[in-house]
């Protein structure tokens, strides 16, 4: 069985971070998003097909130097084709029932159970569903008593959303779905799903966690979720006089002496947080330097950035890449 991994978006909401690095390679708890997703795909999937355009070389280089232990096929997508067009474009690799997974989601979805659900229902498509308070930034599904989807609408106005159940970004599809994808740029969610409703489309709800890592807030919340409830402090870090609150992570050879590491903070390897500074609810990628008496809150500080003494960084993404 094949899986198609959708990672072709430009990550616009995570700029300037995504000027340097494509969203799928963005580390969450030190591991690129795409690896979290690949690791969640069950063993019965023997090949993962990845249509790529934006920063293809970086993806290729990463996957070659960190082979994920299963067959990965990168397919060129020189112009973005949309989520549907990207799937159509790799159609020749698909030989039967297949999976499609959005590559920017951190989730506890058990993909093997999801596939069993799809087979038991026998529809042309099944999609994973997750409940949220405000469904308007997502695809919204309405279910009947038999878990069949009766309506689907991508990004409705908040007042027009007919359910709190959203498309969680994993699809189990029959090969025939390819026949429903037209030419050119095609959105799976806007143009294909509505056409599949009559053919039997089912929704699979699950428990645990689900976070679309498309925004700063969500990348931070993914870290907080995966951190659990403890402070994980590397033995090779320097923490004299520091206060480290849980949950948090202080990586190898990081120096946080005399600083306050607040809850929900991920300090990567070799970062330095100066004395009398406080970092809270934030992620520092590798080799970041935070000066003395700084305050960093709810922010992502990209690799290699230096934050000058006394600075306040609140709710920002700071990177050296500007475009």
Instruction: Catalog residues that contact Mg ion under the rule CB under 5 A.
Output: 104, 212, 214
- CA gap 88, 103 in Å, rounded: 17
Residue that has been written with the tokens 């403890």 in this structure: 230
- CA gap 128, 122 in Å, rounded: 15
What are the structure tokens assigned to 6, written together?
A: 């959708």
163 near ligand GDD, judged by CB under 6 A: no
Residue that has been written with the tokens 């970092």 in this structure: 279
Interaction residues for ligand GDD, span 8-27 (CB under 6 A): 8-9
Phi, psi of 139 (to 5 degrees): -90, 135
- CA gap 270, 255 in Å, rounded: 7
Give the burial class of 105: count Cβ atoms within 10 A of its Cβ; 0-12 exposed, 13-18 middle, 19 or more buried: buried
How big is the site for ligand GDD, counted in residues (CB under 6 A)? Answer: 24
**Span of 62-70, 100-108, 231-239, 294-302 interacting with ligand GDD by CB under 6 A:** 100-108
51 binds, options Mg ion, ligand GDD, none, Cβ within 5 to 8 A by partner type: ligand GDD
β-sheet with 265-267: strand ranges across: 231-233, 248-250, 265-267, 283-284, 300-301, 317-318
Residue 77 or residue 104: which is nearer to Mg ion going by CB? 104
Least distance from Mg ion to the Cβ atom of residue 134, Å = 15
Site string for ligand GDD, 57-96 (x = CB under 6 A): --------------------x--xxxx--x----------
32 near ligand GDD, judged by CB under 6 A: no
Please, where are the H alpha helices in 148-286? 193-196, 216-227
Residue 117 or residue 210: which is nearer to ligand GDD going by CB? 210
Taking the CB of residue 292, how many other CB atoms lie within 10 A of it? 14
189 binds, options Mg ion, ligand GDD, none, Cβ within 5 to 8 A by partner type: ligand GDD
**Span of 3-11, 116-124, 269-277, 284-292 interacting with ligand GDD by CB under 6 A:** 3-11
What are the structure tokens assigned to 226, written together?
A: 């995966």
- CA gap 93, 106 in Å, rounded: 26
Residue 122 or residue 131: which is nearer to ligand GDD going by CB? 131
Least distance from Mg ion to the Cβ atom of residue 213, Å = 7
Which member of 32, 123, 203, 214 binds ligand GDD (CB under 6 A)? 214
The residues of the shown chain that bind ligand GDD, judged by CB under 6 A, are: 6-9, 51, 77, 80-83, 86, 102-105, 138-139, 154, 166-167, 169, 189, 212, 214
């Amino acid at each position: 069985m094949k899986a198609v991994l959708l990672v072709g978006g430009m990550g616009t909401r995570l700029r300037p971070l995504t000027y340097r690095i494509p969203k799928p390679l963005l580390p969450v708890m030190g591991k690129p998003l795409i690896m979290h997703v690949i690791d969640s795909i069950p063993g019965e999937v023997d090949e993962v097909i990845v249509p790529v355009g934006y920063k293809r070389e970086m993806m290729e280089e990463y996957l070659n130097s960190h082979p994920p232990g299963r067959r990965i096929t990168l397919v060129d997508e020189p112009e973005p084709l949309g989520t549907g067009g990207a799937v159509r474009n790799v159609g020749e690799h698909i030989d039967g029932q297949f999976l499609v997974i959005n590559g920017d989601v951190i989730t506890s979805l058990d993909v093997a159970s999801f596939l069993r659900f799809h087979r038991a229902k026998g529809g042309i498509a099944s999609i994973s569903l997750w409940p949220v308070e405000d469904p308007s930034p997502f695809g919204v599904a309405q279910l009947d008593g038999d878990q069949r989807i009766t309506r689907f609408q991508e990004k409705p106005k908040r007042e027009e959303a007919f359910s709190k159940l959203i498309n969680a970004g994993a699809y189990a599809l029959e090969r025939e779905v390819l026949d429903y994808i037209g030419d050119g740029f095609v959105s799976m969610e806007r143009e294909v799903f509505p056409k599949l409703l009559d053919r039997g489309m089912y929704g699979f709800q699950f428990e645990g966690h689900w976070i679309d890592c498309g925004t700063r807030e969500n990348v931070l919340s993914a870290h907080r979720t995966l951190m659990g409830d403890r402070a994980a402090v590397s033995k090779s870090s320097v923490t004299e006089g520091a206060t480290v609150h849980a949950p948090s992570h202080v990586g190898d050879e990081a120096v946080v002496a005399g600083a306050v590491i607040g809850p929900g903070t991920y300090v990567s390897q070799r970062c330095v947080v100066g004395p009398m500074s406080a970092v809270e609810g934030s992620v520092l990628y590798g080799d970041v330097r935070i000066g003395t008496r700084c305050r960093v809150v709810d922010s992502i500080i990209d690799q290699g950035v230096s934050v000058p003494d006394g600075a306040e960084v609140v709710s920002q993404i700071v990177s050296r890449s500007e475009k």
